[in-house]
A = this chain, B = another copy of it.
Amino acid sequence: MPQSFDAATALTAAEGGFTADLDAGWDVGGGVLNGGYLLAVVARAAVEVSPHAHPVALSASYLRSPAPGPATVSVTAGPAGRTLQHGSAVLGDAGGPAVPVQWTTATLHDVAAEHAVPPPAATPVEDCFSIAENAHLAPSGMTVPGISRQVETRLDPLTAGWVLGQPSTEPVVRAWVRFADDREPDPLGLIAFTDVLPPTSWATGRTGWAPTVQLQTLVRALPAPGWCLVEARGNEVSDGWVDEDYRVWDSAGRLVAQSRQLARTPR
């Protein structure tokens, strides 16, 4: 039984910030920890030092992949205003800095959106494709990564042709997600969801490594309980680079988080 998301992102106060114990169970393969998980650890630290309750904007550079195990989160909080606070943090391990982050915290209220983007038409969750339950279908040489056991990920068959060797021309991946232990989504959980899917290049049949270079995540609203719908879309693939746009809707169809990352594309 994997430990919970809250245990995996738990912090202990220390000189200049916090220590954390990065959970090897949040890997994306090859012992590399998921970028959204790492960002959630930092977001928890930001909220801890802020008078505001929620991380609303986080920008992270992925210098290198920190090892599972002991880590530090050094945090510098800027002056806090009535509406928001800016600050910075660096997630590091024994090898030094790994993920510097600029963060903004604020307090989100439970109010309706004045203008919103409805979710795309998606296959109902019961007709989607569980990554964890279909390990035997994984392309040759691939195993189900830890993250797909922490987050139950039900791929929409409309964007999952690549799993069966029928890739698409569109770099789009869509899935219903929730924590495998039924923990409900909240702003910290949403952060993990904004980098939770396989790389969009996989949808086009390139199932290689696609490391994140820079990731910006925005948390836009307090999510309703239940499944979240996540869609990742690559807009331009060129010269070894791709942008991936993530949008996350809650079970009520509300856009609750967004992210964009610049990543390298597999060959």
CB–CB A115/B260 < 8 A = no
From A247, which residue of chain B is reached at the shortest CB distance? B235
Task: Verify if A171 is at the interface (C-beta below 8 Å from B).
Answer: yes
CB–CB A108/B213 < 8 A = no
Task: Verify if A236 is at the interface (C-beta below 8 Å from B).
Answer: yes
The CA-CA distance from A61 to B240 in the complex, in Å, is 27
The CA-CA distance from A98 to B207 in the complex, in Å, is 42
CB–CB B260/A216 < 8 A = yes
Task: Verify if A36 is at the interface (C-beta below 8 Å from B).
Answer: no
Counted per complex, copies of this chain come to 2
Task: Verify if A63 is at the interface (C-beta below 8 Å from B).
Answer: yes
Within 8 A of B (CB), among A235-267: 235-241, 243, 247, 255, 258, 260, 262, 264
Contact A83/B264 with A59-B214, A235-B258 known, Cβ cut-off 8 Å: yes
Tally of A interface residues using CB under 8 Å:
49
The CA-CA distance from A102 to B97 in the complex, in Å, is 14
From A238, which residue of chain B is reached at the shortest CB distance? B113
The CA-CA distance from A232 to B205 in the complex, in Å, is 31
Query: For residue A116, which residues in chain B have a CB less than 8 angstroms away from its CB?
Result: 235-238
Task: Verify if A1 is at the interface (C-beta below 8 Å from B).
Answer: no
CB–CB B86/A61 < 8 A = yes
